[in-house]
Structure 1
Amino acid sequence: MTMPDNEAGFTLIEALVALAILAIASAGLIRALEGSVDAARGLERRATAQWVAENRLAELSLDHGKAIDRPPVVRMLDQDWRVTEDIRSSDDPDIRQIIVSLADSRGAPLVTLRGFIDAGTTTP
Protein backbone atom coordinates (compact mmCIF):
# COMPACT_ATOMS: atom_id res chain seq x y z
CA MET A 1 0.00 0.00 0.00
CA THR A 2 1.51 3.32 -1.07
CA MET A 3 0.91 6.66 0.60
CA PRO A 4 0.04 9.79 -1.33
CA ASP A 5 2.75 12.45 -1.60
CA ASN A 6 0.96 14.93 0.69
CA GLU A 7 1.02 12.42 3.61
CA ALA A 8 4.62 11.28 3.20
CA GLY A 9 5.94 13.17 6.30
CA PHE A 10 9.58 14.07 6.98
CA THR A 11 12.43 12.27 5.39
CA LEU A 12 15.37 11.14 7.47
CA ILE A 13 17.60 13.90 6.05
CA GLU A 14 15.06 16.60 6.94
CA ALA A 15 14.87 15.30 10.51
CA LEU A 16 18.69 15.26 10.80
CA VAL A 17 18.95 18.83 9.49
CA ALA A 18 16.33 19.99 12.00
CA LEU A 19 18.22 18.24 14.84
CA ALA A 20 21.50 19.82 13.73
CA ILE A 21 19.93 23.30 13.75
CA LEU A 22 18.50 22.65 17.21
CA ALA A 23 21.89 21.47 18.50
CA ILE A 24 23.67 24.58 17.18
CA ALA A 25 21.04 26.86 18.73
CA SER A 26 21.29 25.01 22.05
CA ALA A 27 25.08 25.38 22.10
CA GLY A 28 24.75 29.13 21.57
CA LEU A 29 22.18 29.38 24.34
CA ILE A 30 24.42 27.47 26.76
CA ARG A 31 27.35 29.82 26.00
CA ALA A 32 25.14 32.85 26.62
CA LEU A 33 23.96 31.41 29.95
CA GLU A 34 27.54 30.65 31.04
CA GLY A 35 28.53 34.25 30.29
CA SER A 36 25.60 35.53 32.32
CA VAL A 37 26.51 33.33 35.30
CA ASP A 38 30.17 34.45 35.12
CA ALA A 39 29.10 38.10 35.06
CA ALA A 40 26.85 37.58 38.10
CA ARG A 41 29.68 35.86 40.00
CA GLY A 42 32.06 38.72 39.19
CA LEU A 43 29.52 41.27 40.37
CA GLU A 44 29.02 39.34 43.60
CA ARG A 45 32.79 39.20 44.21
CA ARG A 46 33.26 42.92 43.59
CA ALA A 47 30.29 43.83 45.82
CA THR A 48 31.59 41.62 48.63
CA ALA A 49 35.07 43.10 48.29
CA GLN A 50 33.55 46.59 48.48
CA TRP A 51 31.73 45.64 51.72
CA VAL A 52 34.93 44.30 53.27
CA ALA A 53 36.82 47.47 52.32
CA GLU A 54 34.05 49.67 53.74
CA ASN A 55 34.05 47.64 56.96
CA ARG A 56 37.81 48.05 57.34
CA LEU A 57 37.55 51.79 56.69
CA ALA A 58 34.82 52.03 59.35
CA GLU A 59 37.01 50.11 61.83
CA LEU A 60 39.90 52.47 61.15
CA SER A 61 37.63 55.47 61.53
CA LEU A 62 36.47 54.26 64.95
CA ASP A 63 40.07 53.82 66.09
CA HIS A 64 41.22 57.13 64.52
CA GLY A 65 43.58 55.14 62.28
CA LYS A 66 45.70 53.92 65.16
CA ALA A 67 47.94 50.95 64.52
CA ILE A 68 45.81 48.18 66.00
CA ASP A 69 46.65 44.61 65.10
CA ARG A 70 44.02 43.67 62.50
CA PRO A 71 44.03 40.41 60.58
CA PRO A 72 45.38 40.78 57.04
CA VAL A 73 42.88 38.16 55.82
CA VAL A 74 39.15 38.63 56.33
CA ARG A 75 36.60 35.89 55.64
CA MET A 76 33.25 36.96 54.23
CA LEU A 77 30.71 34.90 52.29
CA ASP A 78 32.92 31.80 52.41
CA GLN A 79 35.82 33.56 50.72
CA ASP A 80 39.12 34.89 52.07
CA TRP A 81 40.03 38.51 51.28
CA ARG A 82 43.51 40.00 51.68
CA VAL A 83 43.26 43.50 53.12
CA THR A 84 46.05 46.05 52.96
CA GLU A 85 45.76 49.50 54.40
CA ASP A 86 47.95 52.52 53.87
CA ILE A 87 47.52 55.36 56.37
CA ARG A 88 49.00 58.67 55.26
CA SER A 89 49.03 62.16 56.64
CA SER A 90 47.31 64.93 54.75
CA ASP A 91 47.82 68.67 54.45
CA ASP A 92 45.48 69.09 57.40
CA PRO A 93 47.08 67.66 60.57
CA ASP A 94 43.64 66.71 61.91
CA ILE A 95 42.84 64.46 58.97
CA ARG A 96 44.49 61.26 57.77
CA GLN A 97 44.10 59.68 54.39
CA ILE A 98 43.50 55.93 54.34
CA ILE A 99 43.74 53.69 51.30
CA VAL A 100 42.24 50.23 51.78
CA SER A 101 42.99 47.68 49.04
CA LEU A 102 41.41 44.26 48.71
CA ALA A 103 42.54 41.22 46.79
CA ASP A 104 41.07 37.75 46.60
CA SER A 105 42.87 34.66 47.86
CA ARG A 106 44.77 34.37 44.55
CA GLY A 107 46.09 37.91 44.91
CA ALA A 108 44.00 39.48 42.15
CA PRO A 109 43.22 43.08 43.19
CA LEU A 110 39.52 43.89 43.18
CA VAL A 111 38.79 47.05 45.17
CA THR A 112 40.72 50.11 46.31
CA LEU A 113 38.84 52.42 48.64
CA ARG A 114 40.17 55.82 49.65
CA GLY A 115 38.84 57.67 52.67
CA PHE A 116 39.65 60.30 55.22
CA ILE A 117 39.36 60.02 58.98
CA ASP A 118 39.79 62.25 61.97
CA ALA A 119 43.30 61.87 63.30
CA GLY A 120 42.13 62.56 66.84
CA THR A 121 44.79 65.22 67.41
CA THR A 122 42.37 67.87 68.60
CA THR A 123 39.62 67.66 71.18
CA PRO A 124 36.32 69.49 70.84
Structure 2
Amino acid sequence: MNSRGFTLMEIIIALLVLSVVAISAVKASGNAIGNIHYLKQQSFAHWVAMNKAAEISSGPAGWESWERSGTAMMADLQWVWSFSVHDTPEAGMRRVEIEVRPEGGRGEPVAAITLFRRRP
Protein backbone atom coordinates (compact mmCIF):
# COMPACT_ATOMS: atom_id res chain seq x y z
CA MET A 1 0.00 0.00 0.00
CA ASN A 2 1.49 3.28 -1.13
CA SER A 3 0.11 6.26 0.82
CA ARG A 4 0.61 9.87 -0.17
CA GLY A 5 0.99 12.09 2.87
CA PHE A 6 3.42 13.59 5.29
CA THR A 7 5.12 11.54 7.90
CA LEU A 8 4.92 12.52 11.54
CA MET A 9 8.59 13.62 11.45
CA GLU A 10 7.96 15.95 8.49
CA ILE A 11 5.02 17.58 10.28
CA ILE A 12 7.06 18.08 13.47
CA ILE A 13 9.91 19.70 11.52
CA ALA A 14 7.48 21.98 9.66
CA LEU A 15 5.86 23.07 12.96
CA LEU A 16 9.31 23.69 14.46
CA VAL A 17 10.29 25.93 11.54
CA LEU A 18 6.97 27.76 11.73
CA SER A 19 7.36 28.35 15.48
CA VAL A 20 10.88 29.76 15.04
CA VAL A 21 9.59 32.18 12.39
CA ALA A 22 6.66 33.23 14.58
CA ILE A 23 8.89 33.83 17.62
CA SER A 24 11.28 35.90 15.51
CA ALA A 25 8.41 38.02 14.19
CA VAL A 26 7.04 38.68 17.69
CA LYS A 27 10.52 39.59 18.96
CA ALA A 28 11.13 41.98 16.04
CA SER A 29 7.80 43.74 16.55
CA GLY A 30 8.53 44.09 20.28
CA ASN A 31 11.87 45.70 19.51
CA ALA A 32 10.22 48.08 17.04
CA ILE A 33 7.66 49.15 19.64
CA GLY A 34 10.44 49.77 22.19
CA ASN A 35 12.38 51.85 19.67
CA ILE A 36 9.33 53.94 18.82
CA HIS A 37 8.79 54.74 22.50
CA TYR A 38 12.45 55.71 22.97
CA LEU A 39 12.49 57.90 19.84
CA LYS A 40 9.30 59.65 20.90
CA GLN A 41 10.75 60.36 24.33
CA GLN A 42 14.02 61.57 22.79
CA SER A 43 12.13 63.94 20.46
CA PHE A 44 10.18 65.52 23.33
CA ALA A 45 13.34 65.93 25.42
CA HIS A 46 15.13 67.53 22.46
CA TRP A 47 12.28 70.03 22.05
CA VAL A 48 12.59 70.95 25.73
CA ALA A 49 16.34 71.47 25.27
CA MET A 50 15.80 73.57 22.13
CA ASN A 51 13.23 75.73 23.96
CA LYS A 52 15.73 76.36 26.75
CA ALA A 53 18.45 77.13 24.18
CA ALA A 54 16.15 79.68 22.53
CA GLU A 55 15.51 81.33 25.92
CA ILE A 56 19.24 81.54 26.63
CA SER A 57 20.11 82.75 23.12
CA SER A 58 17.53 85.51 23.14
CA GLY A 59 17.81 86.40 26.82
CA PRO A 60 19.02 89.75 28.11
CA ALA A 61 22.39 90.47 29.70
CA GLY A 62 22.87 88.62 32.97
CA TRP A 63 21.67 85.30 31.57
CA GLU A 64 24.66 83.56 33.19
CA SER A 65 23.13 84.14 36.63
CA TRP A 66 19.79 82.54 35.72
CA GLU A 67 18.51 79.47 37.48
CA ARG A 68 20.58 76.51 36.25
CA SER A 69 17.89 73.82 36.49
CA GLY A 70 14.15 73.54 36.40
CA THR A 71 11.22 71.64 35.00
CA ALA A 72 9.13 71.94 31.86
CA MET A 73 5.99 70.24 30.58
CA MET A 74 6.09 68.70 27.11
CA ALA A 75 3.56 66.22 25.74
CA ASP A 76 1.91 65.85 29.16
CA LEU A 77 5.23 64.74 30.66
CA GLN A 78 7.35 66.56 33.22
CA TRP A 79 10.97 67.04 32.12
CA VAL A 80 13.92 68.20 34.23
CA TRP A 81 16.39 70.44 32.42
CA SER A 82 19.74 71.78 33.56
CA PHE A 83 22.44 73.86 31.98
CA SER A 84 26.03 74.66 32.76
CA VAL A 85 28.15 77.55 31.48
CA HIS A 86 31.82 77.05 30.59
CA ASP A 87 34.64 79.25 29.37
CA THR A 88 35.99 78.77 25.85
CA PRO A 89 39.38 79.54 24.33
CA GLU A 90 37.69 82.49 22.62
CA ALA A 91 37.65 85.29 25.20
CA GLY A 92 34.26 86.69 24.22
CA MET A 93 32.34 83.39 24.05
CA ARG A 94 30.79 81.02 26.59
CA ARG A 95 29.80 77.38 26.00
CA VAL A 96 26.41 76.37 27.39
CA GLU A 97 25.56 72.68 27.79
CA ILE A 98 21.89 71.83 28.23
CA GLU A 99 20.71 68.39 29.43
CA VAL A 100 17.15 67.07 29.70
CA ARG A 101 15.90 64.03 31.63
CA PRO A 102 12.45 62.72 32.45
CA GLU A 103 11.27 63.67 35.91
CA GLY A 104 13.00 61.39 38.40
CA GLY A 105 15.38 60.21 35.67
CA ARG A 106 18.91 59.38 36.66
CA GLY A 107 22.00 58.62 34.62
CA GLU A 108 22.49 59.71 31.05
CA PRO A 109 20.30 62.54 29.76
CA VAL A 110 17.70 61.74 27.11
CA ALA A 111 18.73 64.87 25.19
CA ALA A 112 21.82 67.07 25.39
CA ILE A 113 22.75 70.06 23.26
CA THR A 114 25.56 72.60 23.30
CA LEU A 115 25.32 76.22 22.25
CA PHE A 116 27.66 79.20 22.28
CA ARG A 117 26.79 82.71 23.37
CA ARG A 118 28.74 85.91 23.65
CA ARG A 119 29.73 87.02 27.11
CA PRO A 120 27.60 89.83 28.49
TM interval, short-chain normalised: 0.7 to 0.9
Cα deviation for residue 11 of structure 1 reads 4.1
Provide the TM-score with structure 1 as the length reference. Answer: 0.70
- The structure with the larger Rg is 1
Match in the other structure for 1:107? 106
Give yes or no for contact 1:97–1:117 (8 Å, CA) kept in 2. yes
Provide the TM-score with structure 2 as the length reference. Answer: 0.72
Which of these residues, 46, 53, 62, is aligned with residue 49 of structure 2? 53
* Secondary structure of 1:5 counterpart: coil
Give yes or no for contact 1:52–1:76 (8 Å, CA) kept in 2. yes
How many residue pairs get aligned? The number is 115
In the TM superposition, what are the counterparts of 1:15-26 in structure 2 within 5 Å?
15-26=11-22
Which of these residues, 1, 5, 16, is aligned with residue 2 of structure 2? 5
Query: How large is the Cα RMSD of the aligned pairs?
Result: 2.7
Which consecutive unaligned segments of at least 5 residues does structure 2 have? none
In the TM superposition, what are the counterparts of 1:110-121 in structure 2 within 5 Å?
110-119=110-119, 121=120
Match in the other structure for 2:91? 92
Cα deviation for residue 87 of structure 1 reads 2.9
